Amino acid sequence: MNKTILLAHGSGGKLSHELLEKNLLPPFSNPLLDKLDDSAVFEFSGRLAFTTDSYVVNPIFFPGGDIGKLAVCGTVNDLAMSGAKPLYLSVSLVIEEGLLIEKLERIIKSIKAATKKAEIIIITGDTKVVNRGNADKLFINTSGLGIIPPQLDISGANARVSDKIILSGNIGDHGMAVMSQREGLKFSTPIKSDCAPLNKLVSQMLEASSQIHCLRDPTRGGLATTLNELAKQSNVGITIEEEKVPVAEAVRAACELLGFDPLYIANEGKLVAIVDSAHAESVLAKMKQNRYGTNASIIGEVTSDHPGRVIMKTRLGASRIIDMLSGELLPRIC
């Protein structure tokens, strides 16, 4: 018989402890976590970055990753986008009654692998079990703490006219990988999620230049939405060139088929950097050496024209507005 999560696993009683001691704690053992006090206590000095995010992806397993890997990488990347070196993570699980324990174990393993890759440790956590139907299999919340080197000032408000815009690689992989698994829309595709921790890529970029003005990971809403956020926050215009934006063949094909624009599809292992134009080439060269930046390219620049707006030059020489994502993406009907 397949063992499943019962309501009692979240009761705080014996089954809860069993789950903790057998499944949840051992993979993450470290001195701060192992104390098992109500809060993790540690010394700290310097500038801190603190972020939180909840993960509700459906399905919980998708090509190239799962909700666990996503929950670690997503929060690590949010820290990295402020230039912070990620240190500590909290992980909170909301499990729907009936989830197979085997599936939970697979996700825990994946969380473990992701924390190892990102060199971050989990120092506190929580587990709740809710009635069937009150959650969808598993929701995860993670919060992250990181430390920012002195003098470093990275913000979406820092873009300056004539800065270059660098994209770290192909867009749309994560969104289309998840989409390909959705009920009613299943299609066979080699597309895998790009879900990855970008903190090392960022630290290598920061070694190459002190003139990185903005960093952001184009997750929900895709590249288009991220560029719009940056243009508005910095009150500058952004112009990109269609032919410079890398999109994998399979993603382009799936997007064509479903009527999506890759510019609006989610990524989980990509970043946009806005960099002083004199430093752009050296940052780009450094990025290309990292496995998560091999396909990086300079896709455009910051302009004084059309502040707050993003314009794309098409291959045929026309230009069009790239607006933020509006509503949910739905395939066309004819």
Partner 1 sequence: MKFIDEYRNVELGKKLIARIHQRSTQPARLMEFCGGHTTAILRHGIRQLIPQNIDMLSGPGCPVCVTANADLDKAIASAHLPNTIITTFGDMMKVPGSHSSLQQAKAEGADIHVVYSTQDALQIAQDNPQSSVIFIGIGFETTAPTIAASILEAEQKGIKNFYIFSFLKLCPPVIKAILNLGEVRLNGIIGPGHVSTIIGSHPYEFIPKEYGIGCVISGFEPLDILLCIDKLVEQIEGDQPQVEIAYRRSVKPGGNRRALDLMNEVFEIGEANWRGMGTIPASGLKLKRKYQRFNAEQIFSIDPGPPREPKGCICGEILRGIKMPTECKLFRRICTPEHPVGPCMVSSEGACAAYYQYGVN
Provide the b/e sequence for 211-228 (b: ≥16 CB within 10 Å).
Answer: bbbbbbbbbebbbbbbbb
- Tokens at residue 97, please? 């009654």
Question: First vs last Cα of the chain: how many Å apart?
Answer: 46
Which of 116, 256, 289, 308 binds partner 1 (CB under 8 A)? It is 256
CA–CA distance, 241 with 62 (Å, rounded to integer): 31
CA–CA distance, 303 with 266 (Å, rounded to integer): 25
User: Segment 156-195, which members bind partner 1 (CB under 8 A)?
Assistant: 184-185
**Residue 252 sits in the site that holds partner 1 (CB under 8 A):** yes
**Residue 315 sits in the site that holds partner 1 (CB under 8 A):** yes
**Residue 317 sits in the site that holds partner 1 (CB under 8 A):** yes
Which of 150, 188, 291, 332 binds partner 1 (CB under 8 A)? It is 332
Q: Which is nearer to partner 1, 119 or 249 (CB)?
A: 249
**Residue 321 sits in the site that holds partner 1 (CB under 8 A):** yes
State in angstroms the smallest separation of the CB of 317 from partner 1: 7
Detail the DSSP E strand segments found in 184-307.
Answer: 212-216, 237-241, 272-275, 297-303
Which of 1, 38, 44, 316 binds partner 1 (CB under 8 A)? It is 316
Cα-Cα-Cα-Cα dihedral sign, residues 203, 209, 213, 217: negative
Tell me which DSSP letter residue 183 carries.
T
Q: Which is nearer to partner 1, 40 or 179 (CB)?
A: 179
**Residue 259 sits in the site that holds partner 1 (CB under 8 A):** yes
**Residue 109 sits in the site that holds partner 1 (CB under 8 A):** no
- Tokens at residue 54, please? 């909840």
> Among 71-79, 265-273, 280-288, 312-320, which window interacts with partner 1 (CB under 8 A)?
312-320
Report yes or no: 300 and 238 within 8 Å, Cβ to Cβ.
Answer: yes
Half-sphere exposure of 20 (CA within 13 A, CB side): 20
**Residue 319 sits in the site that holds partner 1 (CB under 8 A):** yes
CA–CA distance, 172 with 265 (Å, rounded to integer): 5
> Among 163-171, 195-203, 283-291, 326-334, which window interacts with partner 1 (CB under 8 A)?
326-334
Binding residue count for partner 1, defined by CB under 8 A? 26
**Residue 134 sits in the site that holds partner 1 (CB under 8 A):** no
Backbone angles phi and psi of 86, in degrees to 5: -65, 135
- Single out the residue of 92, 259, 247 nearest to residue 173, CA to CA: 247
- Tokens at residue 98, please? 């009936």
**Residue 291 sits in the site that holds partner 1 (CB under 8 A):** no
> Among 15-23, 78-86, 215-223, 245-253, which window interacts with partner 1 (CB under 8 A)?
245-253
**Residue 289 sits in the site that holds partner 1 (CB under 8 A):** no
Could you list the residues that contact partner 1 (CB under 8 A)?
184-185, 249, 252-253, 256, 259, 261, 311, 314-321, 323, 326-328, 330-334
